[in-house]
Structure formats: structure tokens, C-alpha cells
């Protein structure tokens, strides 16, 4: 299992912290077997969860020429027509994907094309499921354009726990559907804005996977 590069420093720091706690306990404090088992077990689970969060499993990309792949793992929490005021400044079809702490948090490009726009915005850290988190929270928008009809904006949104958005996209880059474009550390959400005539292929409550699940067709 591949570990995403942004997670390696955090994993090393957490490992050192766990080792320091165990050394301090066993060398400087009276030890009791029950407490020792609970402490070791708890720290092992904590370290496992940190490593698991930064996992990046290998997946064969489900290339769909006229489709929009999910840029994130998670659950669809909202589908609605909405005004998008950052880039398009018109009405778009919105699909929101909530990423829990148990999901893979590496994000990918939903379509082939050229990166037309990247916009980072600092903000609050509200619960990512809330609709207003799309604009009020720290977020990063990326627009990929294939042609005049096939253009997608997707927005990485930091959540209550997430405090770091990573984005590899730069304006002018040629990108491929399913390629990695970044990640959001520790829980978050991704909003996808599509043309109004896109044929949505998911429903609220559906579980989706990055590089695999088709959200809609142009």
C-alpha cells in the first residue's frame, strides 16, 4: 500500500511522539500490566489510524470519455442546481461529496483537459457537511476544460478537523482523467460543478470512489 508523500512527515512525527510516551511511561513511572496493555493498545490504534489516513491504494482508472469521474472517495450528500459565483458566474449542477476520516483522501482529476483556473481561499473550519462550508471554509477551486461544452469546476473544502489543503494543479497544465491532483488532510468535502445539461448518474447517499465512480455524463 502506497503512502501519500504529504503524510510521511506527519507519520514520522507521530511515531516519535508515541515512542517518547512509551519510553517515558516504562522508564520513569510505576508500571501496571493493565495500564500498560491499554496504553500500548491505544497508541498502536492511534498510529495505525494516522498511517491509514494517508494511504493511497493503487487503482486502475475507469476512463470514461464523455463522463465525469468522482475526484474523491466518500458519500454524495447533496445534488442541486445552484449559482456558482467564483468562476462561471452562472447556474450549475452541484454534486457534493463528504469524505469521512475513514475514506482515502487523495483527490484526482474528473476529466481530461487543461487547467484553466486555480483559486485558493482561506476561511473557517465549519463541519464539512454544512452547505455554507462550500464558501465559508478554507477551500481551493480547480477548473479543468476539455472543450466549450465539457468543463468542470471542483472545489476542495477543509472541514472541522481538516486544516491543510494540498493541490498540485497549476493553470495551463494538461491533465488526465484519474490523475492525482492533491489531497485534503483529516476529513473534508469536495464539490463538483457541472453544466446544467449534464446527466447526473448518482443519487444522494451513494458511496463513490475516486478514479472509479462516474458522477455524470456530458
pLDDT (tens digit, 9 = 90+) per residue, 177-211? 999 999 887 668 899 999 999 999 999 999 999 99
* 188 part of the active site: yes
pLDDT at 32: 79
**Using N-to-C axis directions, what is the helix angle for 8-28 and 33-53, rounded to 10°?**
170
pLDDT at 22: 85
What whole-number distance in Å separates Cα of residue 23 and Cα of residue 67?
A: 53
pLDDT at 123: 63
* CB contact at 8 A, 123 and 88: no
What pLDDT band is residue 163 in, cutting at 50, 70 and 90? low
Mean local confidence (pLDDT), 121-146? 71
Mean local confidence (pLDDT), 167-174? 95
Of these ranges, 24-33, 49-58, 121-130, 177-186, the one predicted with the greatest mean pLDDT is 177-186
Name the catalytic one among 141, 188, 210, 213. Answer: 188
pLDDT at 28: 77
pLDDT at 166: 86
Task: Tell how strand 174-175 and strand 188-194 pair up.
Answer: unpaired
> Bigger pLDDT: 126 or 67?
67
Residues contacting 27, CB < 8 A, separation 6+: none
> Bigger pLDDT: 89 or 188?
89
Of these ranges, 13-17, 21-25, 169-173, the one predicted with the greatest mean pLDDT is 169-173
Whole-structure pTM value = 0.81
Amino acid at each position: 500500500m502506497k503512502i501519500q508523500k504529504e503524510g510521511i512527515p506527519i507519520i514520522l512525527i507521530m511515531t516519535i511522539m508515541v515512542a517518547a510516551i512509551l519510553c517515558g511511561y516504562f522508564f520513569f513511572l510505576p508500571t501496571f500490566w493493565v495500564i500498560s496493555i491499554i496504553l500500548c493498545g491505544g497508541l498502536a490504534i492511534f498510529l495505525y489510524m494516522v498511517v491509514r489516513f494517508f494511504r493511497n491504494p493503487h487503482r486502475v482508472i475507469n476512463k470514461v470519455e464523455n463522463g465525469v469521474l468522482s475526484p474523491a472517495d466518500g458519500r454524495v450528500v447533496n445534488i442541486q442546481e445552484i449559482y456558482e459565483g467564483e468562476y462561471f458566474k452562472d447556474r450549475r449542477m452541484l454534486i457534493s461529496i463528504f469524505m469521512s476520516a475513514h475514506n482515502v483522501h487523495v483527490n484526482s482529476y474528473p476529466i481530461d483537459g487543461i487547467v484553466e483556473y486555480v483559486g485558493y481561499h482561506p476561511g473557517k473550519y465549519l463541519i464539512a457537511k454544512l452547505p455554507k462550508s462550500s464558501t465559508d471554509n478554507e477551500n481551493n477551486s480547480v477548473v479543468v476544460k476539455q472543450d466549450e461544452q465539457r468543463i468542470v469546476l471542483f472545489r476542495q473544502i477543509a472541514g472541522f478537523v481538516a486544516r491543510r489543503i494540498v493541490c498540485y494543479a497549476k493553470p495551463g497544465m494538461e491533465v488526465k482523467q484519474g490523475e492525482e491532483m492533491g489531497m485534503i488532510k483529516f476529513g473534508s468535502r469536495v464539490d463538483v460543478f457541472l453544466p446544467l445539461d449534464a446527466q447526473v448518474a448518482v443519487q444522494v447517499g451513494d458511496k463513490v470512489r475516486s478514479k472509479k465512480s462516474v458522477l455524470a455524463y456530458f
